[in-house]
Copies of this chain bind each other. A is one copy, B any other.
Amino acid sequence: MRLIDETALADIALGSTVLGSGGGGDPYVGMLLAREAIRRHGPVPLVDVDEVPDDANIVFIAGLGAPGVLVEKLPRENEYAGVLGELERFTGKTYSYVCPAEAGGFNGITPFATAAVTGVPVIDADGMGRAFPELQLVTPTLYGGRSTPLAMLDEHGNAMYLTSETNVWSESYVRAAVVASGAHAAVAVYPMTGAEAKQRLVRNAITLAEDLGRAIREARAAHTSPVEAVLAKQRGVLLFTGKVEEVERRNEGGWTVGKAHMSGLDDDRGHRMTVHFQNEHLAAERDGRVIATTPDLIMTMEIDSGEPIPAEEIRYGYRVAVVGLPCDPHWRTEAGIRIAGPRHFGYDLDYRPVEEMSR
């Protein structure tokens, strides 16, 4: 067990942007929310999954916004403080630990708001080791884990509860409910036991985010390359160095969908790169050949500052390194590739690990 204070939270937020893999929402917004809660209630205990009793009840905490809402106004603490109690009322059980569904993006941070207010510890793990655009795309799904019973609390105080037949149905209901709320909502989802958590979760995901964030921060301070620091930390592959020439981006079914086209710089001069995205980056295509796909992580980082550039912010003129990071081994199983590999997102090609595919 260790305590997460404001400095650690800032590193986690920065690292979450890398694990966001182009999506996951802005962790800065989540950081402001959680920082405020920590200032008021004190630091949050972070525990290793092995410290959690097998029979403890744990649950993912995540936030969901109607499109555009997060950037227009900050979510309030109330939803995050209240949603755990709503699930407890609904199920009649006590949940003693919370954990992010995705350590990438905004939702890498939101469980800290719940934890600070309610006093429960956060588990150093998540259900993705990255960000993904759909509720069913979590590692518990690979082991038969159920997303429900779930509770959702919106900022108006409306509470929705669900027991679904499949995790894909939960995705459909929760997404519709957030739109109906016209606002922001917190959700407590995928309740499981400590024993299940040990089998099913991506371990040390929060520490990974923190390490990545700290590596970028320290490289900036030392005037060394933040991109190199991230690659070294995670056995990553530098897929491309280039300048953004054109971005095609549209809203489709609540998602930000499109492509960013780049022309090469330095060693990549004369070559071209296209990064495909649906909230998260889905595939990287170099000179017409796909060299990285989900479930591996594809991230665009501003070359000098190492600032991770999400898909919804990338635009003409950015000078970026396109970085590929291996996903968690859970996703490299047959089941993992089936539910989160390139074919799930409509690409007619087989998954190959980024470290081989990019060669």
Contact = CB atoms under 8 A, between A and B. Distances in A.
Interface stretch (A73-81, A133-141, A152-160, A289-297): A152-160
A157 B173 CA distance: 13
Interface in A75-116: 90
A172 interface: yes
A159 B161 CA distance: 8
B169 A159 contact: no
A224 interface: no
Contacts of A162: 158-161
A221 interface: no
Contacts of A157: 165
Interface stretch (A174-182, A212-220, A313-321, A325-333): A174-182
B161 A90 contact: yes
Copies in the complex: 2
Interface string A8-20: 0000000000000
B163 A173 contact: no
A175 B165 contact: no
Contacts of A163: 158-159
B180 A156 contact: no
Nearest to A89: B163
Contacts of A158: 162-165, 169, 173
Nearest to A160: B162
A62 to B, nearest CB: 18
A55 to B, nearest CB: 24
Nearest to A179: B176
A93 B236 CA distance: 56
Contacts of A179: 176
B165 A156 contact: yes
Contacts of A173: 158, 160, 177, 180-181
Interface residues of A, number: 21
Contacts of A164: 158-159
Interface in A175-208: 175-177, 179-182
A149 to B, nearest CB: 9
Contact of A160 (B156, B161, B175, B182): B161
A175 B182 CA distance: 13
A101 to B, nearest CB: 19
Contacts of A156: 165, 169
Contact of A175 (B90, B172, B175, B180): B180
11 contacts: A90-B161, A157-B165, A158-B164, A158-B169, A160-B160, A160-B162, A169-B181, A172-B181, A173-B180, A173-B181, A176-B177
Given A157-B165, A173-B180, A177-B177, 18 more contacts: A90-B90, A90-B161, A156-B165, A156-B169, A158-B163, A158-B164, A158-B165, A158-B173, A159-B164, A160-B160, A160-B161, A160-B173, A161-B161, A169-B181, A172-B181, A173-B177, A176-B179, A176-B180
Across the A-B interface, give the 10 residue pairs with the lowest CB-CB distance, nearest first: A176-B180, A176-B176, A161-B161, A172-B180, A157-B165, A158-B164, A173-B180, A159-B163, A158-B169, A160-B162
